[in-house]
Structure 1
Amino acid sequence: MSNTPAPLYGLLLSGGASQRMRQDKAALAYRGEPQLLRAWRLLEALTERAFVSVRDSQREDALRAGLPQIVDSYDAIGPAAGILSAQDRHPDAAWLVLACDLPLLDHDTLRRLIDARDPLVDATVFASSHDGLPEPLCAIWEPRSHALLRQRYEDGSYCPRKALIQSSIVLLPAPGDALDNVNTPEERQAMQQRLESLA
């Protein structure tokens, strides 16, 4: 068996229904740019290949149509659908999985994750700054994580965080507020004000 780490691909999760936001979170602009495109640039610069994870109904969406896509091949089960679909498509790759709704995420935070990567565990992840648990949507999932994710899917368990808790992982300290996400109009307004104060 080769000691060479699996190639690192990027997966930008954009298939969520954005129900609490009441509009497509990926299209929300911060600092004048849709957050999907900002996250895409970060991901593409740091991985060998990058893809946007989409539901079938999003394939022709103007924001996503011009980017390489992996279409969910699982039912609407949340982020696990995107991760499993990517692993099925490129089973020999490790995946840097990223949510598209992290307006404070930066290059240095992702670089820290990549530099700490251990290809001999299931995943390399940050701890959440809110509860200390593994953060699945800014994480490197190694090929060996697929078996547990798939088994949990077949058992009707779709939470990637709970899969990480059951897995062999490297857990890095929370990277400050870099992984704060935005789920509601009220949170979006607060984030806009925060970014303006940093400008």
Structure 2
Amino acid sequence: MGALQPLLLAGGRSTRMGRRKELLPLVHDIPIYMHLLRTLQLACPQSPIVYLSLRNPDCLPDIQNDPRVTELSPGMLSLEIDGSSTLVQVIYDRPNGDTLDTENDMGPAGGLLAAHRFDPQATWLVVACDYPFLSVSDLHHLQQEMAGPVTCFQNADGFCEPLLGIWSPEAMHVLDQNVRNGDCGPKSVVRQCSGKTIRPRDDRCLFHMNTPADLDMVLKLKDGLDSGI
């Protein structure tokens, strides 16, 4: 199993939210993608770089225009939050541009496979961009329980959360084959690989924002975000 690399998935269409979820402001006007990149960095200190998966290059300018972001070279950013610097490598689900063909949209599988193409030997600590209450402690728990091709959290209803998980090259290969056969669902890989699922110590980390009402609720509970890292 390759070295563990932290990956934030931010390539979704955010249809129900009506705007890009990764740019939604949380506490102190910090967008959720910045908050989660910092969380991933602290949870994976052995990796000098945190990876950010975006849909295509057209999504980058809104991130570059933030004064806390500096472009060091094409695709490599430096992010400054509270006096700390985070190196970010941007990768793209669709490097050659978007398509209006939503029928063939791979969803989060596109970001997972983009990371796998970037470093086929890596094992990825994967976080989707819509989990505002996720903490470093939650990600440490996941790493401590890592076993087999894929390890992820399981919610109270017994469903796995593959976008809060650890993906090995073997699991990525299965996902790639599934996508070629028309199955883009990451949950299928967890089942096929007999992946390990664990219950989090705090179920709140599994809350994810899909709608404006979800965002309103998160902002009302923002005290939990101040101490989330």
Which TM-score applies when normalising by structure 2?
0.77
Question: Gapped runs of 5+ residues in structure 1?
Answer: none
1:171 maps onto 2:200 in alignment: no
Map Cα deviations across residues 9-47 of structure 1 (whole Å, 9 max, x no partner).
Answer: 011001111111111111111112111000000112233
Q: Distance in 2 between matches of 1:16 and 1:45?
A: 24
Aligned residues: 192
Matched letter for residue 171 of structure 2:
S
1:62 maps onto 2:89 in alignment: no
Q: Distance in 2 between matches of 1:13 and 1:182?
A: 14
1:90 maps onto 2:91 in alignment: no
Map Cα deviations across residues 91-118 of structure 1 (whole Å, 9 max, x no partner).
Answer: 1110011011111111100110011112
Instruction: Pick the aligned partner of 2:36 from 1, 20, 39.
Output: 39
Q: How does 1:38-187 map to 2 (within 5 A)?
A: 38-47=35-44, 48=47, 49-56=49-56, 57-62=58-63, 66=77, 67-73=88-94, 76-118=105-147, 121-129=148-156, 131-174=157-200, 175-187=202-214
1:30 maps onto 2:26 in alignment: yes
Q: Indicate the RMSD between aligned Cα atoms, in angstroms.
A: 2.0
**Structure 1 residue ranges (4+ consecutive) displaced by more than 6 angstroms after TM superposition:** none
Query: Taking structure 1 as reference, are residues 101 and 92 closer, same or farther at Cα in structure 2, changes over 3 Å only?
Result: same
| Percent sequence identity over aligned pairs | 30
Map Cα deviations across residues 163-192 of structure 1 (whole Å, 9 max, x no partner).
Answer: 212222121114411110011111111121
Tell me whether 158-167 or 63-72 shows the greater mean CA deviation: 63-72
Conservation of the 8 A alpha-carbon contact between 1:134 and 1:165: no
Deviation at 1:196, TM superposition (A): 4.5
SS in 1 for 2:216: helix
Residue of structure 1 equivalent to 2:100 = none
Map Cα deviations across residues 54-103 of structure 1 (whole Å, 9 max, x no partner).
Answer: 11121333258633111114863110000011111111110011011111
Map Cα deviations across residues 111-165 of structure 1 (whole Å, 9 max, x no partner).
Answer: 10011112xx111111023x21211111000111122101110111111012212
Conservation of the 8 A alpha-carbon contact between 2:133 and 2:224: no
